Amino acid sequence: MSLKKGQEVELEIIDAAFKGKGLAKVDGLAVFVPGTTPGDKVKARIVKKKKKHREAKLLEVLEPSPHRIEPKCQHAKVCGGCSWQHIPYQKQIEFKSQQVRDHIERIGGLDGSIVKEAVGADQEFYYRNKMEYSISSRRWLTEEEIRSDEYVDDSAFAAGLHAPGRFDKILNLKECHLQVKESFEILDFVRSYCIEHGIEPYDTFENTGFMRHVMIRNSHHTDDFMVNLVTYQDDQEVMQKMTKALLDEFSFITTIVNNVNDTKSPTAVGRFEKVLHGPGYIVDKIGEFTFKIHPNAFFQTNTAQAEKLYEIARDYAELEDGDVVYDLYCGVGTLSLFMSKPAKHVLGIELVDVAVENARFNAKENEVGNVSFIKGDMKDVFTQEVVDEYGAPNVLITDPPRAGMHPDVVERLCELKVPRIVYVSCNSSTMARDLKELKEVYEIEEVQPVDMFPQTYHIEAVAKLKLRD
C-alpha cells in the first residue's frame, strides 16, 4: 500500500517510538502518530511522506488501548507541555526504559540487558520547580474553531504555553498541573489583572504591548517562591501596582522581579532586571548543598529527581579518597559539588561564561575548597596542558547537551584512558552513539534511566563505564 500525503487510514499502534509517537506498520512501512499508545486502533491522516516512513495526525481513536486513560488536564491533546497524559505512569516508565534499551542496542551496538528499568518519580504531577508562561495577543484556536465555517477571531490576552510548532500562538491555559497549583493561580491572576487594568499583551509581529512572560520558580526544600514578570517596556509605576496586587493575593511570594526585554528576541531573559520585592532570588538544595537561584540561572527543573540522578552518578563513580574528578559540561557546578566528597579535587569545565561564574559562586557559598572551574569549549580546553595542571583524572563525569559529545572529546577520552567514566545524558540516542565509540576502550557496565519529566516522552540516563584491562 502506498500511503500518500492527505490520505486517511486506519492503523493499529504496536509500539511507542521516539519522541513519544505511536508506531504503526503498513506493509512494513513505519507510520508515526502522536497522541497514541500501543494497543490503540485509530483513524489518522498522513501529513508527511518520507522515504522510509510516514508521519500522521490522529483523527479518531476507534478502539482505545487497555493502556489508555483519560488525561488529567483538558489541554492535554493540544498542549506540548505534557504529551503522555493519556498513558498510565507505570506504562510511561516501561516505554521510556524500552526507548533507552532500543537506542543502546540499535545505535550503540550493545547488549540491551545492561539497561535497567527507569527510576520513576514520586510525584507524577506538580513536580516542576520552574514554569515559563508566555503571553501574546494571539491565542491558539480549538479544533472546533479551526473547523468552523465562520470567521473566528484569534485576538485575545492569551497567557499560557506556545502551541506546538508555533512561535506566535499561545494556548490560553485554563489549568496546568506541571508545577504546584499556586503557579497557575498566579498566571490566571496576572492575566485577569492585566485585562482589568488595560495592560496590553505583547504582539510578536508589531512589537507592541507590555506583558511578555510570567516565569515562576519555587523551592523544593524551602518555602521560597519567585514571580518574574517579563515586560517589553520599563514602567515601574505599573510594576509596583501589580506587585502590590500580587502580594495582597498571594502572601507566600517571597520575591518578585521584573525582567525588561525591549528587544525582538522572544526570550524571557531581560536586557536588564529590577527587583520589586524580596531578595531577587530563591534558595534551594540538592543533597547537602545550598544554591541561590536567580531568575535566569539554570537549576535542575525537578529537584527531587535530580537528587536521585546525582546519587546514581555518585554511586557509579565509586569515589575514593584522593581521586581527581573531571566534570565535563559542568553547568553551574551542581554535580561537581555533589562529587566533591571524598575526592581530592574536582575540576569543572564549561563553555558558558555566566554558568562558570555561578559555579564558582556556588562553590564559595557552600565553602567547598576542592573544586575549580575553567571556561572553554570542551574539544579545545580538554588538553594535556589541563591534565598537567590539575592532574590526571581517576574519574570523569560527562553531562553533555542533547547533541552529545563532540567527536574530538570522545577521541580524547579514548586516549586518556580514565579508569572510571560516568556519562549523564538527556538524549539516549546521542549517548548510545558516543558509547559505540567508547566501548572499544571502556566496558559499558550499566545504564540507568531516570525519569525527570513525567507525562512527557523525555528520559535521562546514566551510564557506568570502566576502563578495559
| 211, pLDDT greater than 80 | yes
User: 3-state DSSP: the chain helix, strand, coil percent, rounded to 5?
Assistant: 25, 30, 45
Instruction: Choose among 190, 208, 213: nearest CA to 259.
Output: 213
> Please, which pLDDT band fits residue 387 given cuts at 50, 70 and 90?
confident
pLDDT (tens digit, 9 = 90+) per residue, 134-161? 999 988 766 666 666 666 667 789 999 9
> Please, which pLDDT band fits residue 469 given cuts at 50, 70 and 90?
confident
| pLDDT score recorded for residue 151 | 64
Least confident of 151-155, 349-353, 378-382, 398-402: 151-155
| pLDDT score recorded for residue 147 | 64
Binding residues for S-adenosyl-L-methionine are: 300, 329, 350, 399
pLDDT (tens digit, 9 = 90+) per residue, 323-362? 999 999 999 999 999 999 999 999 999 998 888 999 999 9
Output DSSP code: residue 312: H
Q: What is the mean pLDDT of the chain?
A: 93
**Span 206-215, average pLDDT:** 96
**Span 85-105, average pLDDT:** 96
**Span 402-425, average pLDDT:** 94
> Please, which pLDDT band fits residue 411 given cuts at 50, 70 and 90?
very high
Least confident of 121-135, 146-160, 408-422: 146-160
pLDDT (tens digit, 9 = 90+) per residue, 304-318? 999 999 999 999 999
| pLDDT score recorded for residue 2 | 77
Residue 230 CB partners (closer than 8 Å, separation 6+): 211, 212, 213, 214, 215, 258, 259, 260, 261, 268, 270
| pLDDT score recorded for residue 460 | 97
Q: What is the DSSP string of 26-89?
A: ETTEEEEETT--TT-EEEEEEEEE-SSEEEEEEEEEEE--TT----SSTTTTT-SS-TTTTS-H
**Span 171-181, average pLDDT:** 95
| 173, pLDDT greater than 70 | yes
When comparing pLDDT for 320 and 20, which is higher?
A: 320
CA gap 372, 395 in Å, rounded:
15
| pLDDT score recorded for residue 133 | 96
CB atoms within 10 A of CB 6: 9
CA gap 177, 127 in Å, rounded:
9
> Please, which pLDDT band fits residue 301 given cuts at 50, 70 and 90?
very high
pLDDT (tens digit, 9 = 90+) per residue, 248-264? 999 999 999 999 999 99
CA gap 245, 229 in Å, rounded:
13
* Residue in the block written with cell 514554569: 131
**Span 287-302, average pLDDT:** 92
Amino acid 245 reads A
| pLDDT score recorded for residue 381 | 84
| 1, pLDDT greater than 70 | no
**Span 186-191, average pLDDT:** 98
**Span 96-118, average pLDDT:** 97
Give the domains, in start order, of the chain with CATH numbers: 8-68 (2.40.50.140), 97-123+299-467 (3.40.50.150), 130-293 (2.40.50.1070)
**Span 12-19, average pLDDT:** 89
Active site residue 176: no
**Span 373-391, average pLDDT:** 87
Q: Are 431 and 423 in contact (CB under 8 A)?
A: yes
| 101, pLDDT greater than 70 | yes
pLDDT (tens digit, 9 = 90+) per residue, 27-77? 889 999 999 999 999 999 999 998 889 999 999 999 999 999 999 999 998
The strand pair at 53-63 and 29-33 is best described as parallel
